[in-house]
């Protein structure tokens, strides 16, 4: 795996949603590095990518309430475990569960295994609430997918919180797990 600076030289063979992520980052003047790799479907594979990136790789969990009317994107460090009771009280929602792949596609234009904070750029109606575990914010860099799980990005945490997330139009809620 090779860490390269910026967007791919050629967008051929890449999905439009991935290229939109690079367009957004470039338009914001955010520097980032990228690694292309085989599909990363498990946290074990992500750990190898994490080592190459030198960034905090987040588990990005797409959640909803029981009625499937409220949706949440939770960013937690890959080594933390998620328990619904730990977060439900903090956000004022009962009984969280994983949202369906259909909701994922509809709201974020992403598929299972590709969940990323960058998918919020596709949530034009602001239906998804961003939740970030406080430990994610402690590292110098955050690693995330560009809406596809065959590439990973390394972005300065400060750029993520101060430039990218505000541009996505989703004010984050910091939680403690």
Q: What is the pLDDT of residue 41?
A: 67
pLDDT one-digit tens code per residue, 93-105: 878 999 999 999 9
Could you tell me if 90 and 176 are in contact, meaning their C-beta atoms sit under 8 angstroms apart? yes
Q: What is the pLDDT of residue 34?
A: 95
End-to-end CA separation in angstroms for the chain: 32
Identify the CATH number of the domain in which residue 32 sits: 3.90.960.10
Q: What is the pLDDT of residue 43?
A: 64
Residue range of the domain that includes 80: 4-175
Q: What is the pLDDT of residue 39?
A: 83
173's enclosing H/E stretch is strand 173-175
Query: How many domains, in total, are found in the chain?
Result: 1
pLDDT one-digit tens code per residue, 78-90: 888 888 888 988 9
Tokens of 60: 């990005």
Query: Rounded to whole angstroms, how far apart are CA atoms 87 and 96?
Result: 9
Residues in the chain where the model's pLDDT stays below 50? none
Could you tell me if 39 and 113 are in contact, meaning their C-beta atoms sit under 8 angstroms apart? yes
């Amino acid at each position: 795996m090779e860490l390269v600076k910026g967007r791919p030289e050629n967008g051929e063979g890449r999905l439009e949603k991935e290229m939109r992520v690079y367009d957004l980052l470039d338009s914001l003047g955010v520097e980032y590095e990228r690694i292309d790799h085989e599909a990363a479907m498990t946290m074990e594979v992500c750990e190898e990518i994490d080592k190459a990136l030198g960034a905090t790789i987040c588990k990005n969990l797409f959640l909803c309430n029981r009625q499937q009317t409220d949706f949440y994107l939770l960013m937690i460090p890959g080594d933390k475990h998620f328990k619904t009771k730990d977060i439900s009280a903090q956000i004022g929602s009962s009984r969280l569960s994983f949202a369906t792949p259909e909701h994922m596609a509809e709201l974020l234009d992403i598929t299972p295994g590709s969940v990323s904070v960058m998918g919020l750029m596709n949530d034009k109606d602001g239906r998804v609430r961003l939740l970030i575990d406080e430990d994610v914010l402690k590292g110098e860099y955050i690693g995330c997918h560009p809406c596809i799980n065959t590439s990973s990005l390394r972005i300065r945490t400060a750029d993520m919180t101060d430039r990218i997330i505000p541009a996505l139009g989703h004010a984050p809620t910091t939680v403690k797990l």
